Structure 1
């Protein structure tokens, strides 16, 4: 898969089944969306780091329309915005593994990268699932 702009490394990592996020070499600030130059310190030196695809649901919505894209999730499906644990709280979008689960803000989730095909092109995304190996919402806070 060809990289597009500053976020090419992100897409290349997803295609390999990994999650990488960009971090400034100058000040350590996590950048998302990816940038050429850090908005915090002005450094042009950015590097990519593999992070665990784990975090907490920041926001979610249930969609009742398929928008024409092929997917193995039946309508309705749940889209989530997840605040990552290991990348300075940056947030990523994806879909929840099951639409019959009632998501909750703060719920712990983990993801696996997915590659589907749409009009002959790879369509990469993150599929989030409840993370039963970690603390439940409200525990340990």
Structure 2
């Protein structure tokens, strides 16, 4: 488990579990420095984003499974223009779509840490790192990515 100082500036909306509680186990796990992905207990299929029903067999018996946080870059982009007022002076930055081999190759979005003008290679190995925001109300932890 790797923790890091804040990468993004303050003032962004605080991510919290949806009102229905579906993604609460994910946010709880990030607070512990763990990455979890939904997995069907009936057919074993991993899925992301969270749903009440398995995407493959339509079972309602889905649970959360801890994964290593090791992945590879499937796609990426380098935003130069702010997508939120808090990011006005915080560009460019790199957003990656990460494929998780030990979770059925589901894909998650996140920021790639490091030089925002670095060369990014499709297929590069990355590792999840956890960015705690303990002073937020409520506290939360973001998953970011670094080159492995």
Range class of TM-score, shorter chain: 0.7 to 0.9
Aligned residues: 129
* Aligned position for 2:6: none
Counterpart mapping for 1:95-114 below 5 A: 95-98=111-114, 99-114=116-131
Unmatched segments (≥5 aa) in structure 2:
1-14
Residues in 1 aligned to 2:99 and 2:22: alpha-carbon distance in whole angstroms: 21
Higher relative contact order (CA 8 A, sep 6+): 2
The RMSD of aligned alpha carbons is 2.5
When normalised by structure 2's length, the TM-score is 0.75
Q: Secondary structure at the match of 1:105?
A: coil
Q: Which runs of 5+ in 1 are unaligned?
A: 132-141
> Structure 1 length as normaliser, TM-score?
0.79
**Given the alignment of the two structures, is residue 130 of structure 1 paired with residue 147 of structure 2, yes or no?**
yes
Structure 2 partner of 1:84: 100
Q: Deviation per CA, 1:80-112: give whole Å up to 9, x if none.
A: 010012110000011111113211111111111
Q: Counterparts of 1:38 and 1:47 in 2: how far apart (Å)? A: 10
Q: How big is the shift at 1:74?
A: 4.5
Q: Cα 1:64–1:121, aligned 2, differ >3 Å: closer, same or farther?
A: farther
